[in-house]
Amino acid sequence: MAILRSIRRALSPLALPLAVALFAAPATAQEPIRIGSFLAVTGPASFLGDPEAKTLEMVVEQLNAQGGVLGRRLQLVHYDSAGDAEKARTFAKRLIEQDRVDVIVGGSTTGETMAVVPLAEQAGLPFVSLAGAVVIVEPVKKWVFKTPHTDRMACDKIFVDMKARGATRAALISGSGGFDKSMRAECLKVAPNHGVQIVADETYGAADTDMTPQLTKIRASNAQAVLNAGFGQGPAIVTRNFRQVGLTLPLYQSHGVASKEYIRLAGEAAEGVRLPAAALLVADLLDAGDAQKPVVTGYRDAYQKRYGSEVSTFGGHAYDGLMLYVHAVKAAGGTDKARVRDALEATRGYVGTGGIVNMSASDHMGLDLSAFRMLEIRNGTWSLVR
């Protein structure tokens, strides 16, 4: 105790100036707007979290260079959750209780997001998720919003296109991963709404290397079009095997393979394959009058200049998440959480990389089918289906 006391005595002359420095600084300069984030920068979902984190960093820099928002600087507080829901929860707690952030923009995967939803709801903190599944915004949660398209929208978009081409009997082939399963379930659910009948429903394992048996069965069915809900290398193998077994039906892939890598892996077999994707992927192909064109080319050029790698739609989700919040802060005239939340919910006509966002009390995503563009692979690259 004696030691403690002597330390305290030694420090006491410092205590007053220190306290003044701590409390006075924020009073003179404007307190920064604290943007909290947890993303899967490493781990199996790093292909999502890595571009998202880079995007947040870049956009915060850009905004600060332009003088911040409402005259206040932005400060990014970021943690790497490695795609682990348990870690995401811990970090979200820290963001709320210690870092006292004004908003959370993050959550690369649905698992992480859902683990954090109760915390955000309890704390009354706006939370913009960057994960895909419908469950995040359905049923609507007061404080939770999301930017990416849902798999249900992808199913809708594909079935609409199928019908337009005269196909009413579809075969479904999907992988065993989380994304694949969720999309398969959504497609099965919405198919009747479009008058499309699912006549075959095949699955394959995550590490499977030969899908010819499943496709041979589909060949024997009376399907008029085939839909592959999948992610990673599976869809590329399906595409190759599809041509190998001599199928000539229209083949649809999901937005999960919307990357150049898919075309590279599937090679010539990918010719004629259609898939729904965000406008960001085909920035150059958009009409000059397209509302999204300036946003997507601006973001893409900035990202490629800063990091020297190709943009992905996932980074775009982070861009949209942060910009939606910034717009809401401007509309609310400050960072008061309840007012920002109301402003987020009232977002109308925000043009982002993912589409044009019109939120409402019953829709915390605000995207409709026009957010997806139907692409066809022609001559080894994307082309827009008009």
Partner 1 sequence: MGSDWLQFVAGGLTAGAIYALVALGYSIVYNASHAINFAQGEFVMVGGMAAVALVAAGLPLLLAVPLAVLAAGVVGVLVEKLALEPAQRSGRADVVTLIIITIGVALFLRGLAQVVWGKGIHALPAFSGSEPLALLGATIVPQSLWVLAGTTLAVLGLGWFFGRTLTGKAMRATAHNPLAARLMGIDTRAVMRLSFALAAMLGALGGVLTAPITFTTYDVGVMLGLKGFAAAMLGGLGSFAGAVAGGLLLGLVESLGAGFVSSAYKDAIAFVVILVVLFFLPGGLVGARRSERV
Name the site residues for partner 1 (rule: CB under 8 A).
46-47, 202-205, 207-210, 212-214, 216-217, 219-220, 232-233, 236-237, 240, 243-246, 261, 264-265, 267-269
* The Cα angle at residue 355 between residues 349 and 361, in degrees rounded to 5: 55
CB of 207 to partner 1, least distance (A): 4
Q: Which is nearer to partner 1, 44 or 67 (CB)?
A: 44
Instruction: Give the tokens for residue 367.
Output: 């995207």
Residue with Cβ nearer partner 1 (243 or 300): 243
What's the min distance (Å) between Cβ of 267 and partner 1?
Answer: 7
Cβ 102 to partner 1 shortest distance, Å: 34
Q: Which one, 45 or 286, has the nearer CB to partner 1?
A: 45
Residue 198 CB, nearest approach to partner 1 (Å): 15
**Which CB sits closer to partner 1, 251 or 343?**
251
Least separation in angstroms between residue 186's CB and partner 1 is: 18
Nearer Cβ to partner 1 (2/220): 220
Phi and psi at residue 210, to the nearest 5°? -145, 115
Cβ 45 to partner 1 shortest distance, Å: 12
- Closer CB to partner 1, residue 32 or residue 43? 43
3-state DSSP of the chain: CHHHHHHHHHHHHHHHHHHHHHHHHHHHCCCCEEEEEEECCCCCCHHHHHHHHHHHHHHHHHHHHCCCECCECEEEEEEECCCCHHHHHHHHHHHHHCCCCCEEEECCCHHHHHHHHHHHHHHCCCEEECCCCHHHCCCCCCCEEECCCCHHHHHHHHHHHHHHCCCCEEEEEECCCHHHHHHHHHHHHHHHHHCCEEEEEEECCCCCCCCHHHHHHHHHCCCCEEEEECCCCHHHHHHHHHHHCCCCCCEEECHHHCCHHHHHHHHHHHCCCEEEEEHHHHHHHCCCCCCCHHHHHHHHHHHHHHHCCCCCHHHHHHHHHHHHHHHHHHHHCCCCHHHHHHHHHCCCCEECCCCEECCECCECCCCCHHHEEEEEEECCEEEECC
Q: Which is nearer to partner 1, 50 or 102 (CB)?
A: 50
Smallest gap from Cβ 82 to partner 1, in A, equals 14
* Residue 104 or 273 with smaller CB distance to partner 1: 273
- The minimum distance between CB 209 and partner 1, in angstroms, equals 3
